[in-house]
Amino acid sequence: MRVVLGEDLVLLREGLIRLLTAYDFEVVEAVDNGPSLLRALVTHRPDVAVVDVRMPPTFTDEGLRAAIEARRQLPGLPVLVLSQYVEQLYARELMSDRNGGVGYLLKDRVSQVGQFVEAIRRVAGGGTAMDPEVISQLLATKPEPLGRLTPREREVLGLMAEGRSNVAIASRLFISENAVGKHTNNIFSKLGLPPSEDDNRRVRAVIAYLDA
């Protein structure tokens, strides 16, 4: 699987290259600034991009902007964004384009190697990988009509937004898959969203709703 990496911190960039290589990813190019990232993405058309939000020259949102522009030129380009902090505006902006796999993880998650690698593969496959802390803050800032959800339904919604299947949610919450299905239907009903068995579609519908 071919990866373009955008990260300006040398130690983290080199560490990510070694980690990805160890898990059979091919890092076709690693860059340290926004303009170079856009060029690399358009040139290599990788299977997935792993991108820091804040990069030179201004250290604001160059990485995200480069990824969004690359997705405009290459519709469906899978992008996994890394950030030091939960930046809700960036998370929502990334998710607003629901064509192709997307993810938003805090950099701390990189140390959880198995989950990090799983997230990259999920995004490359067209899925969604949202950091639990990002989801928590997104939910916290939208009290209505989320306030109509039960505590269990909010748990299920958060796990759905991470990109987890009904089977994975059932395992995490120690409930049956049928129970998860009922909670899912209740969530969509209360949020005014049509139920769907398509995990990616339902996650994107939830994120789109949170961005409304």
The answer on 118 and 89 residing in a single domain is yes
Using the 8-state DSSP alphabet, how is residue 61 labeled? S
Question: pLDDT tens-digit profile of 122-138?
Answer: 999 988 888 878 777 76
- Domain with 174 in it: what CATH number? 1.10.10.10
Which of 31-40, 78-87, 177-186, 196-205 is most confident?
31-40
In this predicted structure, the answer to whether residue 185 has a pLDDT above a threshold of 90 is: no
* Co-location of 22 and 116 in the same domain: yes
For 52-107, write each residue's pLDDT tens digit. 999 998 888 899 889 989 999 999 999 999 988 877 777 677 777 667 888 889 99
Whether residue 93 is found in the same domain as residue 170: no
104 in the same domain as 12:
yes
Q: Is residue 87 part of a domain?
A: yes
Q: Are residues 98 and 40 in the same domain?
A: yes
Confidence of residue 139 (pLDDT cuts 50, 70, 90): low
CATH of the domain at 8: 3.40.50.2300
Q: How many domains, the chain?
A: 2
Shared domain for 23 and 86, answered yes or no, is yes
* 150 pLDDT above the threshold of 90: no
Beta strands in the chain (DSSP E): 2-6, 26-31, 48-52, 79-83, 102-106, 128-130
Q: Range of 197's domain? A: 142-210
What confidence score (pLDDT) does residue 131 get? 84
**Is 135 among the domain residues?**
no
The answer as to whether 66 is a domain residue is yes
Q: Work out the pLDDT band at 157, boundaries 50, 70, 90.
A: confident
Q: Give CA–CA dist 94/192, Å, rounded.
A: 23
pLDDT of residue 208: 55
Displacement of CA 72 from its chain's centroid (Å): 18
Are 161 and 72 in a shared domain?
A: no
Which residues, at least 6 apart from 177, have a Cβ–Cβ distance to it below 8 Å? 166, 167, 170
